[in-house]
Amino acid sequence: MKSLRSVGIIGTGSYVPERKVTNFDMEKIVDTSDEWIRTRTGIGARHFAADDETTSDMAAKAALKAMEAANVTADEIDLIIVGTLTPDMLLPSTACLVQDKIGANGSAAFDLETACSGFIYAMEVGRNFVATGMYNKVLVIGAEKLSSFLDFEDRATCVLFGDGAGAAVLGPVEDGKGILSSELGADGSKGMVLKIDAGGCKMPASEQTLKDRLHYITMDGSEVFKFAVRIMGSASLNVVEKAGLTLDDINFLVPHQANMRIISAAAKKLNLPLEKVQINLTEYGNMSAASVPVALDQAIREGKIKEGDKTVLVGFGGGLTWGACVIQW
Ligand code: ACO
Protein backbone atom coordinates (compact mmCIF):
# COMPACT_ATOMS: atom_id res chain seq x y z
CA MET A 1 0.00 0.00 0.00
CA LYS A 2 1.23 3.51 -0.78
CA SER A 3 1.28 5.32 2.56
CA LEU A 4 -0.72 8.53 2.75
CA ARG A 5 1.59 9.70 5.52
CA SER A 6 5.11 8.47 6.24
CA VAL A 7 5.17 6.58 9.53
CA GLY A 8 8.13 5.83 11.75
CA ILE A 9 9.25 4.80 15.21
CA ILE A 10 9.55 7.88 17.41
CA GLY A 11 10.63 6.14 20.62
CA THR A 12 11.48 2.67 21.93
CA GLY A 13 11.69 1.00 25.33
CA SER A 14 12.28 -2.44 26.77
CA TYR A 15 12.14 -4.39 29.98
CA VAL A 16 13.68 -7.74 30.83
CA PRO A 17 13.05 -9.30 34.25
CA GLU A 18 15.82 -9.46 36.80
CA ARG A 19 16.04 -13.20 37.39
CA LYS A 20 18.81 -14.56 35.19
CA VAL A 21 18.90 -18.31 34.57
CA THR A 22 22.14 -19.54 33.00
CA ASN A 23 22.67 -22.72 31.00
CA PHE A 24 24.41 -24.10 34.08
CA ASP A 25 21.19 -23.48 36.05
CA MET A 26 19.28 -25.34 33.32
CA GLU A 27 21.67 -28.29 33.72
CA LYS A 28 20.20 -28.73 37.21
CA ILE A 29 16.65 -28.91 35.83
CA VAL A 30 16.95 -31.08 32.68
CA ASP A 31 19.50 -33.40 31.12
CA THR A 32 21.37 -30.78 29.10
CA SER A 33 24.69 -28.95 29.07
CA ASP A 34 25.97 -25.44 28.57
CA GLU A 35 28.06 -26.80 25.71
CA TRP A 36 25.04 -28.33 23.88
CA ILE A 37 22.89 -25.23 24.25
CA ARG A 38 25.67 -22.83 23.22
CA THR A 39 26.85 -24.76 20.18
CA ARG A 40 23.34 -25.61 18.86
CA THR A 41 21.70 -22.25 19.56
CA GLY A 42 24.13 -19.57 20.77
CA ILE A 43 22.05 -19.09 23.92
CA GLY A 44 24.00 -18.61 27.17
CA ALA A 45 21.23 -17.49 29.54
CA ARG A 46 17.62 -16.32 29.70
CA HIS A 47 15.68 -14.17 32.15
CA PHE A 48 12.49 -15.43 33.80
CA ALA A 49 9.80 -13.18 35.28
CA ALA A 50 8.95 -13.39 38.96
CA ASP A 51 6.02 -15.66 39.86
CA ASP A 52 3.68 -12.70 40.34
CA GLU A 53 5.00 -10.74 37.34
CA THR A 54 2.81 -10.96 34.22
CA THR A 55 3.14 -10.23 30.52
CA SER A 56 1.12 -7.01 30.95
CA ASP A 57 3.38 -5.88 33.84
CA MET A 58 6.47 -6.24 31.65
CA ALA A 59 4.66 -4.71 28.64
CA ALA A 60 3.62 -1.66 30.66
CA LYS A 61 7.19 -1.10 31.86
CA ALA A 62 8.56 -1.27 28.31
CA ALA A 63 5.71 0.97 27.08
CA LEU A 64 6.41 3.72 29.63
CA LYS A 65 10.07 3.78 28.59
CA ALA A 66 9.10 4.01 24.90
CA MET A 67 6.66 6.84 25.66
CA GLU A 68 9.37 8.69 27.58
CA ALA A 69 11.81 8.29 24.68
CA ALA A 70 9.13 9.51 22.25
CA ASN A 71 8.15 12.35 24.58
CA VAL A 72 4.53 11.25 24.38
CA THR A 73 2.03 11.24 27.26
CA ALA A 74 -0.54 8.53 27.96
CA ASP A 75 -3.31 10.90 26.81
CA GLU A 76 -1.75 11.08 23.36
CA ILE A 77 -1.82 7.33 22.72
CA ASP A 78 -4.63 6.51 20.27
CA LEU A 79 -4.18 2.76 20.02
CA ILE A 80 -2.29 0.00 21.84
CA ILE A 81 -1.46 -3.25 20.04
CA VAL A 82 0.17 -6.05 22.00
CA GLY A 83 1.76 -8.96 20.11
CA THR A 84 1.86 -11.91 22.48
CA LEU A 85 1.31 -15.65 22.59
CA THR A 86 1.42 -15.65 26.39
CA PRO A 87 -1.40 -13.29 27.46
CA ASP A 88 -2.08 -12.74 31.18
CA MET A 89 -5.51 -14.30 30.64
CA LEU A 90 -7.68 -15.42 27.70
CA LEU A 91 -10.03 -12.55 28.55
CA PRO A 92 -9.54 -9.58 28.84
CA SER A 93 -6.80 -8.89 26.32
CA THR A 94 -3.31 -8.01 27.54
CA ALA A 95 -3.54 -4.72 25.61
CA CYS A 96 -6.53 -3.66 27.75
CA LEU A 97 -4.58 -4.52 30.91
CA VAL A 98 -1.64 -2.47 29.65
CA GLN A 99 -3.93 0.44 28.81
CA ASP A 100 -5.13 0.52 32.41
CA LYS A 101 -1.58 0.18 33.82
CA ILE A 102 -0.17 3.08 31.82
CA GLY A 103 -3.30 5.25 32.12
CA ALA A 104 -3.93 5.59 28.36
CA ASN A 105 -7.66 5.63 29.02
CA GLY A 106 -8.65 7.25 25.74
CA SER A 107 -7.00 4.66 23.51
CA ALA A 108 -8.31 1.66 21.61
CA ALA A 109 -6.52 -1.58 22.55
CA PHE A 110 -6.24 -5.11 21.22
CA ASP A 111 -3.94 -8.14 21.12
CA LEU A 112 -2.55 -9.79 18.03
CA GLU A 113 -1.19 -13.33 18.02
CA THR A 114 1.41 -14.23 15.43
CA ALA A 115 3.88 -15.73 17.94
CA CYS A 116 7.45 -14.52 17.43
CA SER A 117 6.44 -12.32 14.47
CA GLY A 118 4.04 -10.45 16.78
CA PHE A 119 5.94 -7.19 17.03
CA ILE A 120 6.55 -6.84 13.29
CA TYR A 121 2.88 -7.64 12.58
CA ALA A 122 1.79 -5.12 15.25
CA MET A 123 4.03 -2.47 13.71
CA GLU A 124 2.55 -2.98 10.28
CA VAL A 125 -1.03 -2.83 11.59
CA GLY A 126 -0.19 0.29 13.60
CA ARG A 127 1.56 1.88 10.64
CA ASN A 128 -1.57 1.62 8.52
CA PHE A 129 -3.69 3.40 11.15
CA VAL A 130 -1.20 6.27 11.28
CA ALA A 131 -0.64 6.34 7.50
CA THR A 132 -4.34 6.83 6.81
CA GLY A 133 -4.57 9.59 9.40
CA MET A 134 -7.04 7.69 11.58
CA TYR A 135 -4.59 7.79 14.50
CA ASN A 136 -1.52 9.87 15.32
CA LYS A 137 0.26 7.84 18.00
CA VAL A 138 0.16 4.06 18.17
CA LEU A 139 1.91 2.08 20.89
CA VAL A 140 3.09 -1.32 19.63
CA ILE A 141 4.40 -3.89 22.07
CA GLY A 142 5.86 -7.39 21.91
CA ALA A 143 5.72 -9.03 25.34
CA GLU A 144 5.96 -12.60 26.60
CA LYS A 145 6.07 -14.62 29.78
CA LEU A 146 7.07 -17.85 28.07
CA SER A 147 8.34 -19.37 31.30
CA SER A 148 4.70 -20.04 32.25
CA PHE A 149 4.27 -22.22 29.15
CA LEU A 150 7.53 -24.18 29.15
CA ASP A 151 7.68 -27.86 29.97
CA PHE A 152 10.66 -28.12 32.29
CA GLU A 153 10.73 -31.87 31.55
CA ASP A 154 11.29 -31.26 27.81
CA ARG A 155 14.93 -30.32 27.25
CA ALA A 156 14.34 -29.72 23.54
CA THR A 157 12.20 -26.62 24.24
CA CYS A 158 12.67 -25.35 27.80
CA VAL A 159 16.28 -24.24 27.24
CA LEU A 160 15.38 -22.01 24.30
CA PHE A 161 13.03 -19.37 25.68
CA GLY A 162 13.04 -16.35 28.00
CA ASP A 163 10.69 -13.60 29.22
CA GLY A 164 10.66 -9.88 28.40
CA ALA A 165 8.94 -6.97 26.66
CA GLY A 166 9.78 -4.33 24.08
CA ALA A 167 7.74 -1.39 22.83
CA ALA A 168 7.75 1.36 20.25
CA VAL A 169 5.64 4.46 19.65
CA LEU A 170 4.70 4.99 16.01
CA GLY A 171 3.85 8.40 14.64
CA PRO A 172 3.95 10.48 11.47
CA VAL A 173 7.49 11.36 10.32
CA GLU A 174 8.90 13.50 7.55
CA ASP A 175 8.53 12.10 4.03
CA GLY A 176 11.20 9.64 2.97
CA LYS A 177 11.80 8.50 6.56
CA GLY A 178 10.28 5.78 8.72
CA ILE A 179 9.02 2.41 7.52
CA LEU A 180 9.88 2.27 3.82
CA SER A 181 8.57 -1.20 3.00
CA SER A 182 7.26 -4.31 4.66
CA GLU A 183 6.16 -7.88 4.16
CA LEU A 184 3.90 -10.06 6.29
CA GLY A 185 3.28 -13.72 5.61
CA ALA A 186 1.80 -16.91 6.99
CA ASP A 187 1.72 -20.62 6.16
CA GLY A 188 -1.10 -22.16 8.17
CA SER A 189 -0.49 -25.57 6.61
CA LYS A 190 2.58 -25.87 8.87
CA GLY A 191 0.81 -24.61 11.99
CA MET A 192 1.25 -27.82 13.95
CA VAL A 193 5.06 -27.70 14.03
CA LEU A 194 4.94 -25.18 16.88
CA LYS A 195 1.98 -25.36 19.24
CA ILE A 196 0.28 -25.41 22.62
CA ASP A 197 -2.35 -28.14 22.35
CA ALA A 198 -4.71 -27.48 25.23
CA GLY A 199 -6.44 -24.53 26.83
CA GLY A 200 -8.39 -23.45 23.74
CA CYS A 201 -11.90 -24.56 22.76
CA LYS A 202 -10.59 -27.60 20.90
CA MET A 203 -9.18 -29.05 24.10
CA PRO A 204 -10.35 -27.12 27.15
CA ALA A 205 -8.33 -27.50 30.34
CA SER A 206 -9.19 -30.75 32.15
CA GLU A 207 -7.57 -33.17 34.57
CA GLN A 208 -6.50 -35.21 31.56
CA THR A 209 -4.87 -32.29 29.67
CA LEU A 210 -2.92 -31.41 32.81
CA LYS A 211 -1.84 -35.02 33.28
CA ASP A 212 -0.76 -35.24 29.62
CA ARG A 213 1.23 -31.96 29.91
CA LEU A 214 -0.69 -30.44 27.01
CA HIS A 215 -0.57 -26.82 28.22
CA TYR A 216 3.06 -26.38 27.25
CA ILE A 217 4.84 -25.35 24.03
CA THR A 218 5.90 -28.23 21.81
CA MET A 219 7.94 -27.87 18.66
CA ASP A 220 9.36 -29.78 15.73
CA GLY A 221 12.71 -27.98 16.00
CA SER A 222 14.25 -29.07 12.74
CA GLU A 223 11.12 -28.16 10.69
CA VAL A 224 11.04 -24.72 12.31
CA PHE A 225 14.76 -24.35 11.69
CA LYS A 226 14.51 -25.11 7.96
CA PHE A 227 11.55 -22.75 7.55
CA ALA A 228 13.31 -19.99 9.51
CA VAL A 229 16.54 -20.09 7.50
CA ARG A 230 14.60 -19.90 4.23
CA ILE A 231 12.09 -17.22 5.21
CA MET A 232 14.42 -14.88 7.14
CA GLY A 233 16.62 -14.60 4.05
CA SER A 234 13.86 -14.25 1.46
CA ALA A 235 11.71 -11.82 3.48
CA SER A 236 14.75 -9.61 4.15
CA LEU A 237 15.68 -9.49 0.48
CA ASN A 238 12.07 -8.82 -0.53
CA VAL A 239 11.69 -5.76 1.70
CA VAL A 240 15.00 -4.30 0.52
CA GLU A 241 13.84 -4.67 -3.08
CA LYS A 242 10.34 -3.31 -2.32
CA ALA A 243 11.96 -0.21 -0.80
CA GLY A 244 13.82 0.33 -4.07
CA LEU A 245 17.17 -0.25 -2.33
CA THR A 246 20.14 -2.53 -2.82
CA LEU A 247 21.99 -4.54 -0.18
CA ASP A 248 24.70 -1.87 -0.08
CA ASP A 249 22.16 0.58 1.32
CA ILE A 250 21.42 -1.53 4.41
CA ASN A 251 23.48 -0.63 7.49
CA PHE A 252 22.05 -2.82 10.20
CA LEU A 253 19.92 -5.91 10.88
CA VAL A 254 17.63 -6.56 13.85
CA PRO A 255 16.53 -10.20 13.53
CA HIS A 256 14.33 -12.44 15.66
CA GLN A 257 16.55 -14.14 18.24
CA ALA A 258 15.81 -17.87 18.02
CA ASN A 259 19.10 -19.42 17.06
CA MET A 260 22.53 -18.01 16.20
CA ARG A 261 22.76 -20.23 13.13
CA ILE A 262 19.47 -18.80 11.80
CA ILE A 263 20.67 -15.23 12.47
CA SER A 264 23.99 -15.89 10.72
CA ALA A 265 22.20 -17.23 7.64
CA ALA A 266 20.02 -14.09 7.45
CA ALA A 267 23.04 -11.80 7.90
CA LYS A 268 24.84 -13.64 5.11
CA LYS A 269 21.88 -13.11 2.74
CA LEU A 270 22.07 -9.39 3.44
CA ASN A 271 25.90 -9.34 3.07
CA LEU A 272 26.21 -7.94 6.59
CA PRO A 273 29.01 -8.86 9.00
CA LEU A 274 27.83 -9.89 12.49
CA GLU A 275 29.01 -6.53 13.94
CA LYS A 276 26.12 -5.01 11.96
CA VAL A 277 23.57 -7.35 13.55
CA GLN A 278 21.94 -6.90 16.96
CA ILE A 279 22.36 -10.14 18.87
CA ASN A 280 21.01 -10.63 22.39
CA LEU A 281 20.02 -14.29 22.51
CA THR A 282 23.30 -15.00 24.31
CA GLU A 283 21.84 -13.23 27.38
CA TYR A 284 18.05 -13.46 26.87
CA GLY A 285 17.30 -16.53 24.73
CA ASN A 286 14.24 -16.44 22.49
CA MET A 287 11.66 -14.01 23.92
CA SER A 288 9.27 -14.63 21.02
CA ALA A 289 7.37 -11.40 20.19
CA ALA A 290 9.61 -9.46 22.58
CA SER A 291 12.88 -10.43 20.88
CA VAL A 292 12.83 -7.95 18.00
CA PRO A 293 11.68 -4.87 19.98
CA VAL A 294 14.09 -5.55 22.86
CA ALA A 295 16.97 -5.96 20.39
CA LEU A 296 15.88 -2.81 18.53
CA ASP A 297 15.70 -0.76 21.72
CA GLN A 298 19.15 -1.98 22.77
CA ALA A 299 20.65 -1.16 19.36
CA ILE A 300 19.22 2.36 19.49
CA ARG A 301 20.33 3.00 23.08
CA GLU A 302 23.79 1.58 22.36
CA GLY A 303 24.12 4.05 19.46
CA LYS A 304 24.38 1.30 16.84
CA ILE A 305 21.50 2.74 14.82
CA LYS A 306 22.01 6.35 13.81
CA GLU A 307 20.12 9.07 11.96
CA GLY A 308 20.20 8.29 8.23
CA ASP A 309 20.70 4.54 8.69
CA LYS A 310 18.57 1.96 6.94
CA THR A 311 17.75 -1.04 9.09
CA VAL A 312 16.05 -4.34 8.31
CA LEU A 313 13.83 -5.91 10.97
CA VAL A 314 12.92 -9.55 10.33
CA GLY A 315 11.22 -12.31 12.28
CA PHE A 316 9.42 -15.64 12.03
CA GLY A 317 7.28 -17.61 14.40
CA GLY A 318 4.47 -20.03 15.14
CA GLY A 319 1.55 -20.08 12.77
CA LEU A 320 3.81 -20.34 10.88
CA THR A 321 4.23 -16.62 10.30
CA TRP A 322 6.88 -14.13 9.25
CA GLY A 323 7.38 -10.42 8.84
CA ALA A 324 10.04 -7.96 7.78
CA CYS A 325 10.44 -4.25 7.13
CA VAL A 326 13.02 -1.63 6.21
CA ILE A 327 13.24 1.48 8.40
CA GLN A 328 14.97 4.69 7.37
CA TRP A 329 16.04 6.56 10.54
N1 ACO B 1 20.38 -30.65 25.66
C2 ACO B 1 21.02 -31.73 25.23
N3 ACO B 1 20.57 -32.48 24.19
C4 ACO B 1 19.44 -32.07 23.58
C5 ACO B 1 18.72 -30.95 23.99
C6 ACO B 1 19.22 -30.22 25.08
N7 ACO B 1 18.63 -29.11 25.54
N8 ACO B 1 17.64 -30.81 23.19
C9 ACO B 1 17.68 -31.81 22.31
N10 ACO B 1 18.76 -32.59 22.54
C11 ACO B 1 19.19 -33.78 21.83
C12 ACO B 1 18.06 -34.46 21.13
O13 ACO B 1 17.38 -35.31 22.02
C14 ACO B 1 18.78 -35.21 20.03
O15 ACO B 1 19.31 -36.36 20.59
P16 ACO B 1 19.25 -37.77 19.77
O17 ACO B 1 20.04 -37.48 18.51
O18 ACO B 1 19.89 -38.70 20.70
O19 ACO B 1 17.80 -38.00 19.52
C20 ACO B 1 19.95 -34.30 19.69
O21 ACO B 1 20.09 -33.41 20.80
C22 ACO B 1 19.78 -33.51 18.42
O23 ACO B 1 18.51 -32.87 18.43
P24 ACO B 1 18.04 -32.01 17.23
O25 ACO B 1 16.65 -31.54 17.51
O26 ACO B 1 18.31 -32.72 15.95
O27 ACO B 1 19.05 -30.78 17.32
P28 ACO B 1 19.21 -29.61 16.32
O29 ACO B 1 20.62 -29.49 15.91
O30 ACO B 1 18.15 -29.62 15.27
O31 ACO B 1 18.90 -28.34 17.25
C32 ACO B 1 17.18 -26.80 17.88
C33 ACO B 1 17.65 -28.23 17.90
C34 ACO B 1 18.20 -25.93 18.59
C35 ACO B 1 15.86 -26.70 18.61
C36 ACO B 1 17.06 -26.34 16.41
O37 ACO B 1 16.32 -27.26 15.69
C38 ACO B 1 16.42 -25.01 16.30
O39 ACO B 1 16.96 -23.98 16.69
N40 ACO B 1 15.22 -24.96 15.68
C41 ACO B 1 14.50 -23.73 15.56
C42 ACO B 1 13.77 -23.50 16.82
C43 ACO B 1 13.14 -22.19 16.87
O44 ACO B 1 13.55 -21.27 16.22
N45 ACO B 1 12.12 -22.09 17.70
C46 ACO B 1 11.47 -20.88 17.98
C47 ACO B 1 10.36 -20.67 17.06
S48 ACO B 1 9.71 -19.10 17.25
C49 ACO B 1 8.21 -19.11 18.04
O50 ACO B 1 7.25 -18.72 17.40
C51 ACO B 1 8.02 -19.56 19.44
How does pLDDT run across 66-82, given as a tens digit for each residue? 999 999 999 999 999 99
Q: Are residues 226 and 312 in the same domain?
A: yes
In a domain, 55, yes or no: yes
Q: Which atom of ligand 1 is nearest to the CA of 219?
A: 45
Residues 247, 9 contacting (CB under 8 angstroms): no
In a domain, 167, yes or no: yes
Q: Are residues 21 and 128 in the same domain?
A: yes
Closest-CA residue to 247 (of 274, 270, 275): 270
Compute how many other C-beta atoms are within 10 angstroms of the C-beta atom of residue 120.
Answer: 32
Please write the tens of the pLDDT for every residue from 263-274.
999 999 999 999
The residue whose CB lies within 8 Å of the most ligand 1 atoms, and thus the one to mutate among 33, 145, 225, 261, is 225
Q: State the pTM of this model.
A: 0.96
47 is catalytic: no
β-bridge partners, 167: 13, 141
Please write the tens of the pLDDT for every residue from 160-196.
999 999 999 999 999 999 999 999 999 999 999 999 9
Q: Tell me the C-alpha distance between 121 and 118, whole Å.
A: 5
Q: Among 175, 207, 240, where does a domain finish?
A: 175
3 state SS of 184: strand
Q: If pLDDT is split at 50, 70 and 90, which confidence band does 2 have?
A: low
Which residue range forms the structural domain that includes residue 136?
7-175
- Asked if the model's pLDDT at residue 3 lies above 70, the reply is no
Please write the tens of the pLDDT for every residue from 5-25.
999 999 999 999 999 999 999
SS (H, E, C) 261-292: HHHHHHHHHCCCCHHHECCCHHHHCECHHHHH
Ligand 1 pocket member 194 (CB < 6 A): yes
The residue whose CB lies within 8 Å of the most ligand 1 atoms, and thus the one to mutate among 38, 40, 160, 161, is 40
Q: Among 175, 199, 222, where does a domain finish?
A: 175
- Asked if the model's pLDDT at residue 4 lies above 90, the reply is no
Residues 115, 289 contacting (CB under 8 angstroms): yes
Q: Tell me the C-alpha distance between 48 and 210, whole Å.
A: 22
Rounded mean pLDDT, 251-272 = 95
Q: Are residues 151 and 186 in the same domain?
A: no
Among residues 96, 259, 286, 325, the one annotated as catalytic is 286
In a domain, 72, yes or no: yes
Please write the tens of the pLDDT for every residue from 128-144.
999 999 999 999 999 99
Closest-CA residue to 13 (of 51, 61, 76): 61
Total domains in the chain come to 2
The domain that contains 296 carries what CATH number? 3.40.47.10
- Asked if the model's pLDDT at residue 1 lies above 70, the reply is no
Write the residue with the smallest CA distance to atom 8 of ligand 1.
Answer: 156
Q: What is the mean pLDDT of the chain?
A: 97
In a domain, 165, yes or no: yes
